[in-house]
Amino acid sequence: MRSREEALLSEILPPEDRVIEAVVARYQRVAPAVTRFARSLASNDDLRIRLGSQASAEPGEIVMDPGVFQAAYARSAPVTPSEVALASALHEVVHMVATDLDEHRALPEEWFPDAGEPLPEDPVSLLDALDKAGGPAAEAMFFSIEDARQESQNFDLYPGARSVLADLYLASIPGAMGRARPMGQFALACFLAVGGYQDVDTLQQRSEVHVSMALEEARDLIDDAREASDGWETAGVALQLLAVARLHGLLTEASPDESKTRREDREKADQNEINTGVDSLRLMSPIVQDADSYDQTRKAMQAAESLQGRPDDAQTGGDPATEQILRVSEAPDVHLPTGQGGKLLVTPLPSRFSNYADRGFEALETAARRWEVGERHISGELYPLFVANQRRGLQSGFDAGDLSPHAALFLGAGLYQRMFERRSLPTRRAYSISLLVDGSASMLQPRPLPGGVKAPWAMAAATLGAWTLARLCDELQVEFEVALFNRAFAARHDDTEQTYVQRAHRTKGALRRSQGSAADRLTRTVNHYVLKSFDNRWETAKDELAGLFWTAAHPADAAVEARRNPASAPPVSMFEKAANVDELNVQHAAERLGRRPATVRMLVVLADGMTRGSVDALAATVDGAEHGGITVLGIGIGDDTVTNAYSRHQVVERPDELTRAMIHGVRSALRRSIALTGGDTWWAHVSQIENTITRSA
């Protein structure tokens, strides 16, 4: 990770390394360790840590805004980007874990030396108490000192990360000290001294004479702050530091007959001086920046929860551009055998499609009849093949059993429970089939049908094929997966037409503003919608697939419906007209398939036309999958690109051809597997099969 040659931030980091995606990518490399550190620091093994556009902290979860990290890369200091990735994340974690100002206490008497009458005894929050005692300047001083205290106490265990922070800060001292006004200088010096980044002597040399004298007097207080055990104690020290500053004339003098507004202005000005001084140097962490930012960080979570009911969906009403960038950055990287690769957004299909399930079931029946796809007889025909082959698998398992000559003895002694042991039990799960359906808008466009008419049949036929094969697999107890792929603005699982369109609109606008020409790449992503995963039951996916079929068979009706009831309709606008990147999807599906404990793996891709990537890359991907033991079948719908990319391919021009092509493909895979395992039964012979098929068709 850390190549010794990695550039330092003191040389200028190229812009592409500063974009937020690069920041997130770098964060992801350190995330596992940082999360573990955070859990140790918080003594909470279940603490969740994630990125979001709105920083927030509550006992069980920390959300970090990568924009905060990004700011660190803009500095000039002798540190490398990977060091910054770690230090900025750990910095954020430390403050998020350590900051808790919620404890209420009665106003401490020593904070009010001039109080004539007894103080109220009701417990108040720290920030309220501080405001009463010292106003805005006290708040600013407190947050600076508290920030430094937390760093000096919590980075103990991580001196490496701490030294990165120190380098970042030290590089900024001359500029920050030079720019700051006296009170700002004093606050900044206190921050650096409490944090242990620089000693008082050195700081005095850089400060104006009044500031230097104030620092001299503040030495003990600085030590106290470093040792303080909580926020209340730090606040007490902050007030005393302000008193020292006042004594040395660093704070604006109050006139004896000052009006309320005047006083407020004066206090604001002092606060401003402190903040500007300290902020020009420290790494910003929203939770210890100021009172507003603290409140926002603490409350963002509750607000999100009450608005959405679910905090974990990254829909926290944050900035849409950042949310989208995070979504893209956090998506898995898919690597092709050609060395190329890209991000693939893998999500479940929006569940709203199941709204159309009933119409879908009906339409499926009609279509099956019209396109002559008898579901029953297909499974009826394949059933004996599967059962026979599976039984064989079972028996060979017994053959391979490892029988010890002491077996009888062991059984008697209770050491063995069974006579035969097998390492894995690949019986029912011996087959894995994955189905990838092209979900680009062109699949929804009218195409010629026999008889000269035109209808939007491609996606419909593909969905019908998926449906047929899914039922088949379910019946034969073959595990399977169905996914839809396209390239468009990615929908979320809970999207309606309305939320989808609105988010797409806001995100595109925001990204165009913040990212310029990169906006298109970030909004038009390569998406992989999982309709049914290997681990889900078919029952749970049925409705969505049926609903999707209806949408595909009646795209115009679906569009009307979506316009009429956008708040409840599925996001039909997600089918954008943009060319796909088939190879990323094929690669991803092949990898998932490769991890299944199966002996026969098959991937069927139903595609329409060109891939936006390259046909060569697609061919290499298919080839790689085949070499990995996966039978890949490419079915081109009205387009012969598949012939160049898939060694097993078929081009179909009519809906009824499609389903038959799929079934045929699965059947030959089965035959191949039987041939490979050396089985020889009557039904494995081609001619017999062909006969059976022709007869039943």
- Return residues touching another protein (CB under 8 A): 1-2, 29-30, 32-37, 39-40, 45, 82-83, 86, 90, 157-161, 163-164, 404, 406, 409-410, 413-416
Q: Which helix (H) or strand (E) holds 569?
A: none
Q: Cβ of residue 4: shortest distance to another protein, in angstroms?
A: 9
Element (DSSP H or E) covering residue 645 = helix 641-645
Contacts of 123 (CB under 8 A, 6+ apart): 104, 105, 106
**Which helix H or strand E contains 186, and what residues bound it?**
helix 182-195
Residue nearer to another protein on the CB measure, 143 or 169? 169
**24, 330 contact by CB (below 8 A):** yes
- Largest Cα separation within the chain, whole Å, is 109
* Between 2 and 310, CB nearer to another protein: 2
Query: From the CB of 284, what's the least distance to another protein, in Å?
Result: 21
CA distance 683 to 685: 5
Quote the least distance from Cβ 540 to another protein, whole Å.
25
Residue closer to another protein, measured from CB, 33 or 400? 33
In the complex, least distance from residue 69 CB atom to another protein, rounded to whole angstroms: 14
CB atoms within 10 A of CB 214: 26
Nearer to another protein, 17 or 576 (CB): 17
CB of 194 to another protein, least distance (A): 22
Is residue 638 within 8 Å of 447, Cβ to Cβ? yes
> Minimum distance between the CB of residue 112 and another protein, rounded to whole angstroms?
42
Residue 161 beta carbon to another protein: minimum distance, rounded to whole angstroms:
4
From 131, 103, 108, 104, select the one nearest 119 (Cα to Cα): 108
Cα 124 to Cα 102, 113, 237, 240, 333: the distances in Å are: 9, 18, 18, 20, 50
Nearer to another protein, 40 or 202 (CB): 40
| Nearer to another protein (CB atom), residue 30 or residue 321 | 30
For residue 204, what are its two tokens?
Answer: 């005095």
Q: Which is nearer to another protein, 29 or 685 (CB)?
A: 29
- 164 contact partners, CB below 8 Å, separation of at least 6: 79, 83, 84, 86, 87
Cβ proximity to another protein: between 265 and 421 the closer is 421
To another protein, the closest distance from the beta carbon of 34 in angstroms equals: 7
Enclosing H/E stretch for 48 = strand 48-51
On the CB side of 345, CA atoms within 13 Å amount to 23
**Can you point out the beta strands (E) in 56-109?**
56-58, 61-64
Closest separation between CB of residue 166 and another protein, Å? 10
How far is Cα 543 from Cα 554, in angstroms, rounded to an integer?
16
Burial 382-417 (b: 16+ CB within 10 A, else e): beebbebbbebbeeebeeeeeeeeebeeeeeeeebe
Cβ-based burial of 188 (10 A; exposed 0-12, middle 13-18, buried ≥19): buried
Q: Which is nearer to another protein, 41 or 235 (CB)?
A: 41
Contacts of 200 (CB under 8 A, 6+ apart): 189, 193, 215, 216, 218, 219, 222
CB nearer to another protein: pick between 161 and 558? 161
Three-state SS for 588?
A: helix
Residue (78 or 108) nearer to another protein, CB: 78
Minimum separation from the CB atom of position 404 to another protein (A): 7
CB of 252 to another protein, least distance (A): 42
Question: Nearest distance from residue 86's CB to another protein, in Å?
Answer: 5
- Give me the least distance between CB of 6 and another protein, in Å please: 12
Smaller CB distance to another protein: residue 86 or 222? Answer: 86
Report, in Å, the least distance between residue 155 CB and another protein: 9
Torsion over CA: 212, 217, 219, 224 (sign): negative
Angle 497-503-508 from CA coordinates, rounded to 5°: 125
- 365, 371 Cβ separation under 8 angstroms: no
Bridge partner list, 432:
479, 601
Separation CA 633–CA 627 (nearest Å): 14
**Between residues 35 and 477, which has the closer beta carbon with respect to another protein?**
35
Please say whether the beta carbons of 393 and 606 come within 8 A: no
The smaller minimum CB distance to another protein, of residues 169 and 485, is found at 169
